[in-house]
């Protein structure tokens, strides 16, 4: 347990947490919505600092991050907890701490050891993933600072519900993020995720302003967020911020609290891909459907640049950040 950052002391020993956009006002002895930040006698503490429930070496493509060091390994860690309650969560056993029987026994790992293990593994980056990294922000910040000194990149796989204060603290430490833009409907966020849409949109824009490389993932859930109109709104929004933002359109499979819906039809995914390209997005990918829509093509001449099979890179023709055929700049972090 460690004193948290980004909070304000209030009257009657209450505290106002400024880490995520819930901005919980927490009374003495109580926890915030995330379940890991607790007010003890007017001081906010985090229970997630260094208490890892996962540590693995993954392909960076699994995040998914396609436009940063393709084919490299990313040392991937998680602490328990989340500030959303998504009905389709694939990692609910570790993200939803209030679920009966959920969670794993954490293992305390100091930041220096995580960085050391990442270096020893041959990874070129550390990904804060599986659960919501905002919830273990202090640990990711300390670890990230050490990682930068060792030449490692830092990646968030996030729901994007953090505050600007949180992102300001991460400036210069966080190199890239894959943000889940789960829908373009406020009602969907409220009902299915127990969150709000607008802060996520603001985070995507603000990350870009801070120089963080951003990729976006949308899980398409049949009958819930799969209309042509909604998908067009997402694509137009992203293109309005930057046509070079990679959009990962991911296939839903029944899990957790949504077991009654079928997997997303391939036709729906391809419709979304066509919508993204029609909106002007340069890079639109399909996820959870190996063999379909994984490759990177030049947006200018359509040259095949990166050929992927599942999470693995077969060929990479990008040279000095450019298409070898037409010399167009291919956006991302390549070295």
Cα dihedral 313, 317, 321, 325 in deg (nearest 10): -150
* CA distance linking residue 92 with residue 97, whole number of Å: 8
- What predicted TM-score, i.e. pTM, was given to this entire model? 0.96
What architecture (CATH level 2) is domain 51-316?
A: Alpha-Beta Barrel (3.20)
Terminal-to-terminal C-alpha distance of the chain: 37
Q: What is the pLDDT of residues 22-43, one digit of tens each?
A: 999 999 999 999 999 999 999 9
Tokens linked to 207: 């990350």
State yes or no: pLDDT of 103 exceeds 70: no
pLDDT at 102 (0 to 100): 44
- Domain boundaries along the sequence of the chain: 2-46, 51-316
Q: What is the pLDDT of residues 55-64, one digit of tens each?
A: 999 999 999 9
Confidence grade of residue 97 (pLDDT, cut at 50, 70, 90): low
pLDDT at 101 (0 to 100): 39
Size of the chain in residues = 335
* CA distance linking residue 152 with residue 118, whole number of Å: 9
pLDDT at 320 (0 to 100): 96
Contacts of 101 (CB under 8 A, 6+ apart): none
Contacts of 293 (CB under 8 A, 6+ apart): 249, 269, 270, 273, 284, 285, 286
Confidence grade of residue 180 (pLDDT, cut at 50, 70, 90): very high
CB 83 within 8 A of CB 159: yes
For range 106-117, the mean pLDDT? 96
State yes or no: pLDDT of 254 exceeds 90: yes
State yes or no: pLDDT of 109 exceeds 50: yes
pLDDT at 91 (0 to 100): 84
Quote the percentage of the chain above a pLDDT of 70: 98
For range 112-120, the mean pLDDT? 98
- 3-state percent helix, strand, coil for the chain, nearest multiple of 5: 25, 25, 45
Confidence grade of residue 82 (pLDDT, cut at 50, 70, 90): very high
Strand partners, 329: 322
Average pLDDT of the chain, as a whole number: 95
């Amino acid at each position: 347990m460690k004193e948290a950052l980004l909070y304000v002391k209030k009257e009657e020993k209450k505290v106002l947490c400024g880490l995520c956009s819930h901005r919980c006002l927490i009374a003495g002895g109580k926890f915030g919505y995330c379940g890991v930040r607790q007010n003890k006698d007017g001081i906010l503490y985090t229970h997630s600092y260094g208490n890892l429930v996962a540590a693995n070496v993954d392909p960076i493509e699994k995040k998914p991050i396609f436009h940063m060091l393709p084919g490299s390994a990313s040392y991937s860690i998680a602490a328990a907890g989340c500030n959303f309650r998504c009905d389709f969560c694939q990692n609910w056993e570790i993200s939803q701490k209030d679920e009966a029987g959920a969670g794993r026994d954490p293992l305390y790992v100091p930041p220096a050891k995580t960085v050391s293990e990442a270096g020893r593994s041959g990874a070129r980056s550390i990904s804060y993933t599986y659960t919501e990294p905002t919830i273990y922000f202090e640990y990711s910040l300390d670890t990230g600072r050490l990682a930068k000194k060792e030449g490692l990149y830092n990646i968030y796989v996030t729901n994007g519900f953090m505050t600007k204060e949180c992102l300001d603290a991460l400036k210069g430490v966080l190199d890239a993020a894959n943000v889940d833009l789960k829908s373009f409907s406020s009602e969907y966020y409220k009902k299915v995720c127990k969150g709000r849409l607008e802060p996520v949109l603001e985070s995507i824009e603000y990350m870009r302003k801070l120089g963080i490389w951003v990729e976006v993932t949308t899980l398409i859930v049949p009958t819930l967020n799969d209309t042509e109109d909604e998908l067009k709104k997402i694509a137009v929004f992203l293109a309005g911020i930057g046509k070079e933002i990679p959009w990962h359109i991911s296939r839903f499979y029944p899990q957790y609290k949504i077991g009654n819906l079928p997997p997303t039809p391939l036709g729906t995914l391809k419709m979304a891909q066509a919508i993204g390209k029609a909106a002007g997005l340069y890079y639109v990918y399909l996820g959870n459907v190996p063999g379909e829509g994984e490759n990177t093509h030049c947006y200018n001449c359509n040259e095949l640049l990166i050929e992927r099979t599942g999470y693995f890179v077969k060929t990479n023709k990008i040279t000095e950040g450019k298409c070898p055929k037409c010399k167009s700049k291919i956006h991302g972090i390549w070295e």
